[in-house]
Structure 1
Amino acid sequence: MKKRLFPILLLLLLTVLTLASCGEKAPKMTINVYNWGEYISDGSYGELDSNKAFEEYFNTEIQSDGRTLAEKYGFEIEVSYSTYATNEDMYSKLTSGAGSYDVVVPSDYMIEQMINANMLLPLDFGIIKNYSYISEDFKGESVYYDPDNLYSVPYTYGMTGIIYNTALVDEEDIDGSWSLLWNEKYKGKILQFNNPRDAFGSAMYLLGINVNSTSDADWQTALAKLSEQKPLIQAYVNDEIYNKMTTASAAIAPYFAGDYVTMAEQNEDLAFYYPKEGVNYFVDAFCIPKSSKHPDVACEYINFMLSEEPAVANAKYIGYASPNELVKNNADYIDYMGEDAMAILYDTPPSVVNESYNKSFGTACYRSLEVLGIQDKVNTLWESLKTENATELWIHVTCIVIVGGVLALGIYTVYIRKKRSRHYRLRDREQKAIKSK
């Protein structure tokens, strides 16, 4: 009886252990992604939620080796996604140690600055195999911000231009130039970027000055041009340009081509052009900060975002041009964007480049002011521009206060004198009355 019972007990024990192991879930690990606001497909309008799709891909999809990535790495993944408004906000967050991130998406000039500051990890292109889909225009030594192509993978790119409202701006005033932002006819209806790089850039392009100049004289000349423009400006804004232009609260603004594509859907009176003097050509790219706790998983995330489904979904959602050939050649994407949008996003204006975008990367993009050694100088010039009227107002108010004070003192002095004079007259009368008695 005991001999029969032992195998049965052993079988039961193995069954229990097997069931217990099947019930165990792999531990969860969080990957922290830090990106621009409104800069990834989030599942709205029935489109793909790219972050959720990555979690599902990582945790459940069988890879070529017969395992899921969760099994390969020993944990399942969750994406913690947060956003920033500017490159400088992102940079400050990382340098302050206030947050630890696995993936960030800085712009070209900020990538250059972060590489110089030794803040980025080299990428593992053995994991990021989909890098092969990135256009050759975004590779090679001429990619000034990452000439060795070690630290970044392009995500989007685009150019700045001028948006104007055809119902508010006369066609005869459209000459294809940055000068429209200086047209006195539209005083109070013109917007300007609320950041020194883009604001100074508009003046420097107009004047034919190299936007990456380190000459004090060049920046002073640009400052004078912005001072000339200031009385015409309704407001210095950034993201607010979107709402102000779509609601016709303003008539003219510099802004990004990718945003115009979306804005035009909301206001058919809006039109766009690339100024003939030249424009800024920018690239936003995936990078991995040195603070990343899971750089291999971060590479898996980047690799996934370069695959066709999420890459197309993200490009459709964002509206900016994609350096990914899978996107540019996707029939659904081309149909969704439409002929006009494709022309604006992908037809490089001849004023920006001579033969190809790649060959003039360094001159068509803003370089890091920090790397150029002029960040503090430009910030000082920008502050002087922004406080120009405030200083004049302060002087004006101070003068009024001083004049008012002088007048008040004068009135008070006259009053006291009159009061004293009356007092003395009354005293004299009293003394005369006493003497007469």
Structure 2
Amino acid sequence: MINGADTAFILASAGLVLLMTPGLALFYAGMVRGKNVLGTIMQSLTLIALISLEWVYIGYSMSFGPDIRGLIGDLSWFALRGVGTAPSETYATTIPHTVFMIFQCMFAVITPALIAGAFAERVKFSAFVVFSLLWAVLVYNPVCHWIWGGGWLAKMGVLDFAGGLVVHATCGVAALAAVMVIGPRRGFGQTNFMPHNLPMTMLGTGLLWFGWFGFNGGSALAADEVAATAFVATHLGGMSGMAMWTIMEWIRLGKPTTLGAASGAIAGLATITPAAGFVGPNAAIGIGLVAGVVCYLAVNMKSRFKFDDSLDVVGIHGVGGITGTLLLGVFASKTVNPNGVDGLLAGNASMLLTQLIGVVVVCSYAFIVSWLILKLVQALIGLRISEEAEHQGLDYTEHSETAYN
């Protein structure tokens, strides 16, 4: 039977997750140069339309449709055929099936948008659109089915409460592939690519943090004690990640920065995501503190490899998602979520091994397929804008607009 409170909660959560995509647009746009602001925003906003259409026609059915050998959902729900207002027999039995579908749609929208931060300021809009569509079909949908759609990793016991693997790890390793294939911005290592508007980035941080309560809390799929657990863990993970990153930066550079605080918050939120509904407050704080250290070190390692990950997608989302997925195998406790499992600290060492297998499989698959998609798009239409266009900026050359007079 449909529960009104659960339905209202998931509808509100879906709206919060949608808000994260414009929030991400502002978060990213503040960190690029002024000539690339609108081009950066456009990449996120466009995916609201593009991926939603893909989700309605094939994405939802591929991700959550009837299982084919644990690998993918069939297309029997093409164009949402059979997805009505009655509850789903498989996924969420107290809310309309359409509500579950639209909630999951918002996750599909923001995931490829996250990747765009890695190659900001240098990719053609047409190439971005083609890449994002292919990536959603060939990477996001299969991985989503493996873990959330009853696929083979779910049957193995791999857990991901709200997207440490499905969202953050996949976009992080895809970002790494993109950085390697596309190459650095012109002037990288010689030009100081300073953020043009950090207040805009801080506004984006706030919107992302606010939306994350729907991202993680809504993943309980009911207005219950698990949602409460996830809501509290989300805030504690985010705030402790921000605190630790600020401390690390203060010690290393002598001064804390607003960009560091924002980065730490997003790192903590990304890292707590896979574990949010399975751990208590103290474990959530611990996971956030680890995120502040690990993600800070990862971001600062990119210069050694000469990788131009423009907006730190690999170090924050990729490393954060992987770290959180593994720490779930350490801190998970049935006393927090009776429907979950115990982790290493509760005496179940095998859970950590299961999570490690999930990380290796998902990251390997996402990296290889992302690499192949990038090479295909590069061969067909080219990935990079011209040198002159890069000098003038995406706003004018790709969209005939300027953010500022």
Indicate the structure with greater strand content.
1
Indicate the structure with greater helix content.
2
TM-score bracket relative to the smaller structure: under 0.3
What TM-score results when the alignment is normalised by the length of structure 2? 0.25
